[in-house]
């Protein structure tokens, strides 16, 4: 069931692009599976979901951009559970980005194999990644001058000698590295996510982290280990009905636990290297948007349920 969530995420992005919430790019449709494309066409997402996708994309895009332009030193990005994400190609096509030296993605073998196939079939995708330096026999992993795709199960990566050996060859441990985890750690148990982050913290000398996850206790929970809110419980129940268990979402239910998770796991600093993590809900992002832009978003499909929107947005958080 976890493996099917990539189609959901891609379908949401395609829906937001089609309804003009976020700018289109030529790479996203090329990387979409047939299932994701069909889902987005047949089942257009609701205005609330489309706005949530817009806010997530806007906030994460800006944070990644800030990381890459904060200094002139070469940098790496390590994307956990990247799926069909097109971020590497979008960054490569941005003339303002000159410091990205290597981009590494990790995901399940069936997803990486499919992505390798799509990249090699489309000249537009293959052109941006440089020449093939290495490809595994089963075609689930490959490395080029600027981009690497590695098959693994994040839940067991620290014990997977083959995958960790490949990862160590593809990453320069001395470079500033941004670890991106979007809707990934919620599927891992606390023990699995702690082991993963500890492994990465020891592997990289200058790691920073950017995480986007559900926050099932909501934004008004005061107790660190607060239980899910009524809305958060409904979210978890709906996911459970799809055979999606979320041990990480239950264990890290509050904003404070989101903020502290990477500092504890990696044993060091935040995106800005100052040892102080930051966390914001999508509701905070929504509240910070210019009024003119809010009106544009509201007019696209006629947003009526602002209160329902803000309840949903209060249950998703970005930490860095």
Number of domains in the chain: 1
Name 134's bridge partners.
143
> What confidence tens digit (pLDDT) does each residue in 106-121 have?
999 999 999 999 999 9
Tell me the pTM: 0.93
Q: How far apart are CA 299 and CA 47, in angstroms?
A: 10
> Region 294-305: what's the mean pLDDT?
94
For the chain, give percent helix, strand, coil, nearest 5.
50, 15, 35
- If you write DSSP's letter for every residue of 143-187 in order, what string do you get? EESSEEEEE--TTTGGG-HHHHHHHHHHS-TTSEEEEEEES-GGG
Residues tagged in the binding site annotation for S-adenosyl-L-methionine: 56, 81, 153-154, 182
> What confidence tens digit (pLDDT) does each residue in 121-156 have?
999 999 989 887 889 999 999 999 899 999 999 999
Q: What is the pLDDT of residue 261?
A: 86
> What confidence tens digit (pLDDT) does each residue in 12-60 have?
999 999 999 999 999 999 999 876 555 555 478 999 999 999 999 999 9
pLDDT at 225 over 60: yes
Among 220-224, 229-233, 298-302, 304-308, which is the least confidently predicted range?
Answer: 220-224
Nearest to 132 by CA among 117, 121, 147: 147
pLDDT confidence bin for 239, thresholds 50/70/90:
very high
Q: What is the pLDDT of residue 268?
A: 59
What six digits make up the tokens of 205?
């000398």
> What residue numbers bound the domain in which 54 lies?
2-319
The dihedral over CA atoms of 219, 223, 227, 229, expressed in degrees to the nearest 10, equals -30
pLDDT confidence bin for 265, thresholds 50/70/90:
confident
Q: How far apart are CA 204 and CA 219, in angstroms?
A: 32
Helices (H), 158-273: 161-170, 190-203, 230-240, 247-251, 255-266
- Average pLDDT of the chain is 92
Which residues have C-beta within 8 Å of that of residue 86, sequence separation ≥ 6?
25, 27, 28, 30, 31
Q: How far apart are CA 279 and CA 35, in angstroms?
A: 33
Distance, C-alpha 190 to centroid of its chain = 18
- Domain at 98, CATH number: 3.40.50.150
pLDDT confidence bin for 240, thresholds 50/70/90:
very high
Quote the Cα angle for 274-60-105, to 5°: 90
Q: In what order do the strands lie in the sheet with 75-80?
A: 132-135, 142-144, 147-151, 100-107, 75-80, 176-182, 206-214, 316-319, 279-281
Residues tagged in the binding site annotation: 56, 81, 153-154, 182
Q: What is the pLDDT of residue 38?
A: 53
Distance, C-alpha 132 to centroid of its chain = 25
């Amino acid at each position: 069931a976890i493996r099917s969530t990539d189609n959901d995420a891609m379908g949401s992005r395609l829906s937001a692009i089609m309804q003009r919430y976020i700018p289109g790019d030529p790479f996203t449709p090329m990387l979409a599976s047939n299932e994701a494309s069909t889902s987005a066409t047949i089942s257009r997402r609701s205005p609330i979901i489309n706005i949530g996708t817009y806010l997530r994309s806007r906030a994460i895009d800006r944070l990644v951009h800030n990381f890459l332009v904060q200094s002139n030193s070469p940098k790496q990005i390590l994307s956990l559970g990247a799926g069909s994400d097109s971020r590497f190609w979008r960054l490569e096509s941005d003339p303002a980005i000159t410091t990205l030296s290597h981009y590494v993605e990790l995901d399940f073998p069936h997803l990486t194999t499919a992505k390798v196939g799509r990249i090699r079939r489309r000249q537009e995708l293959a052109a941006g990644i440089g020449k093939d330096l290495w490809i595994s026999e089963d075609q689930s992993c490959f490395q080029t001058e600027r981009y690497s795709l590695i098959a693994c199960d994040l839940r067991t990566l620290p014990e997977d000698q083959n995958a960790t050996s490949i990862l160590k060859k593809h990453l320069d441990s001395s470079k500033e590295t941004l670890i991106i985890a979007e809707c990934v750690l919620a599927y891992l148990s606390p023990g699995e996510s702690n082991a993963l982050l500890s492994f990465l913290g020891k592997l990289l000398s200058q790691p920073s982290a950017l995480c986007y996850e559900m926050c099932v206790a909501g934004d008004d929970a005061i107790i660190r280990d607060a239980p899910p809110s009524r809305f958060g419980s409904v979210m978890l129940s709906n996911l459970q009905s799809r055979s999606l268990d979320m041990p990480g979402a239950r264990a890290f239910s509050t904003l404070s636990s989101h903020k502290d998770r990477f500092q504890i796991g990696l044993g060091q600093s935040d995106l800005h290297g100052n040892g102080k993590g930051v966390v914001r809900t999508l509701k905070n992002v929504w509240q910070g948007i210019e009024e003119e832009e809010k009106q544009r978003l509201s007019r696209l499909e006629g947003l009526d349920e602002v209160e329902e929107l803000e309840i949903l947005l209060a249950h998703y958080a970005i930490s860095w």
